[in-house]
Amino acid sequence: MSIISVVGPKGGIGKTTLSINATAALTRALSSGKLNNRICLLDLDLRLPTITSLLDSHPSKTFYDLFECLGKKTYQTDFLKIVYQLATHFQAYIDGKIPARNEKLIEVFHHYHVMNTDLFLASEFKFGNAIHEMLMKRGEVKNISQLKKLQPILKKIDLDEFKRILEEMNEAARPVMEEYISYIEEYGFSILGGEVPILGKRAHRKRINEPEFLLRFLEFLDTVFQQFEHVIVDTPAGGVNHMSSLMNVIDQVLFVFDLSNNIAINGSIDAVHTFIDYYEEFQADYAKGQLTGLDRAHVKRLIAQKGKGDLYHSIKNKKLGLVFNRCQSNQEIVKALQMLREYLDTLDKYHQYKTRIQIVGMVPNNKVINITNNKKSLFYNMDIGLSERMDQIAKAILSENTICPTLADDDKTIISYLNKIKKPMLLDKLTRMAGSSTN
């Protein structure tokens, strides 16, 4: 399984266009005539998801439902499980059935004080109000002997009923992965992601900042990743800071360089630098065993899945690839390459990274590509010249960029690679003419 992420900090530079078409090209490259389901296109734009509408394919469940499910059910269920433990042990202590030194009681008493109540939706549980009251009393109940103060509140909770409801909730607690993945037969790949902007909802915005919640979201994504050979991740402008630990598991990053816009070029250069910095820091922290928070939890689970060696190898061998978009002349490419080289040089990073940054592909500025007309967002297979460009990118991805020139190569080699496409444009023109004459 490999994860390829398309990034670029500026809006409108072609990340989504590239993601969609690279997925189509990759699907073609892998298929042997029959339909397959080995590739997934993931829309990580949680604020403005577009892929489902661009491809006119609407999964039965989207990230919006997932957030609802993870938030309401999974989180709530796990939270309530702990509350149930608290309530039963506190009651047992009050009834004199267990002593204050009971180990489990000491443990749950500690939980009682450190529990994060932010995501608990009291109104959605039968004994929610009593639980809320119990948690509000935390300041007053400083040690186990003071637990008696909770007696009147605990009386309001029927523990048998609590247990029964909990069992019921548990049944429906985990999201069913298949419901979120939508396989598009027409294209031969799957999509996963949004439909409505989930970060438009306050509760969702709050949840995405909650480490426990985010970990569940990443856990879900990991499970999906396991189902596919390749996952292409379309990211929003500005990146996904809250999901930085997801960025750590990416195998290949494709930086989009929009050559029609100098500000965008500078932004993408900065993104390359940020990722270099980020991976260096991550690698150092991992080597020293100093990963913290979400990174640590996420990586721990990945190690359990993949094994330590594999993960270390993948961190050390991240592929950093460039894709030039809206290209109108070779000169623009040469200029952008020079800007990147100079920038890395000023950071004293050029020599270390010149062979690690690969030139993956190029997409010309082309009027065929037009997202405003939804049907044209997937231009792959509609224009031979453009399809060849995407095939080159797909081949590079499959070879893990080994077929690509690097920043260390001279401009001539790079330009010649970028223009080395199977069918010349002329053939494309002829094919189109032939096509129109038979219409």
Ligand X SMILES: Nc1ncnc2c1ncn2[C@@H]1O[C@H](COP(=O)(O)OP(=O)(O)OP(=O)(O)O)[C@@H](O)[C@H]1O
Can you give the binding site for ligand X, defined by CB under 6 A?
11-17, 45, 236-237, 325-326, 363, 365-366, 369-372
Q: Which is nearer to ligand X, 385 or 405 (CB)?
A: 385
Q: Which is nearer to ligand X, 227 or 274 (CB)?
A: 274
| 71 interacts with, out of Mg ion, ligand X, none, CB within 5 to 8 A per kind | none
Quote the tokens at residue 268.
């993408």
Q: What CA–CA distance (Å, rounded) separates 335 from 351?
A: 19
Q: Which is nearer to ligand X, 258 or 409 (CB)?
A: 258
Tell me which residue of 144, 162, 127 sits closest to 90, measured CA to CA. Answer: 144
Q: Which is nearer to ligand X, 372 or 437 (CB)?
A: 372
x/- letters, 13..52, toward Mg ion (CB under 5 A): --xx------------------------------------
Q: Is residue 358 part of the contact set for Mg ion (CB under 5 A)? A: no
| 173 interacts with, out of Mg ion, ligand X, none, CB within 5 to 8 A per kind | none
| 204 interacts with, out of Mg ion, ligand X, none, CB within 5 to 8 A per kind | none
Q: Which is nearer to ligand X, 188 or 194 (CB)?
A: 194
Q: How far is the CB of 365 from ligand X (least distance, A)?
A: 5
Q: How far is the CB of 230 from ligand X (least distance, A)?
A: 19
Phi-psi domain of 197 (left: phi exceeds 0; alpha: psi -120 through 50; beta: other): beta
Q: Which is nearer to ligand X, 283 or 365 (CB)?
A: 365
Helix (H, G, I), strand (E, B) or coil at 276: helix
Number of residues that bind Mg ion (CB under 5 A): 2
Q: What CA–CA distance (Å, rounded) separates 435 from 439?
A: 7
| 371 interacts with, out of Mg ion, ligand X, none, CB within 5 to 8 A per kind | ligand X
For CA atoms 103, 105, 107, 109, give the dihedral sign. negative
Classify residue 376 by its DSSP letter. B
178 within 8 A of 56, measured Cβ to Cβ = no
Q: Which is nearer to ligand X, 231 or 344 (CB)?
A: 231
DSSP string, 56-90: T---SS-HHHHHHIIIIIIIHHHHHHHHHHHHHHH
Q: How far is the CB of 41 from ligand X (least distance, A)?
A: 13
Amino acid identity of 82? Answer: I
Q: What CA–CA distance (Å, rounded) separates 51 from 234?
A: 9
| 363 interacts with, out of Mg ion, ligand X, none, CB within 5 to 8 A per kind | ligand X
Q: How far is the CB of 324 from ligand X (least distance, A)?
A: 9
147-168 burial code (b ≥16 CB/10 A, e <16): beebeebbeebeeeebeebbee
Q: How far is the CB of 53 from Mg ion (least distance, A)?
A: 12
Q: Which is nearer to Mg ion, 17 or 392 (CB)?
A: 17
Q: How far is the CB of 15 from ligand X (least distance, A)?
A: 4
Residue 365's alpha-carbon distances to 22, 122, 327, 370, 391, in angstroms, are 16, 54, 5, 11, 17
Residues binding Mg ion (CB under 5 A): 15-16
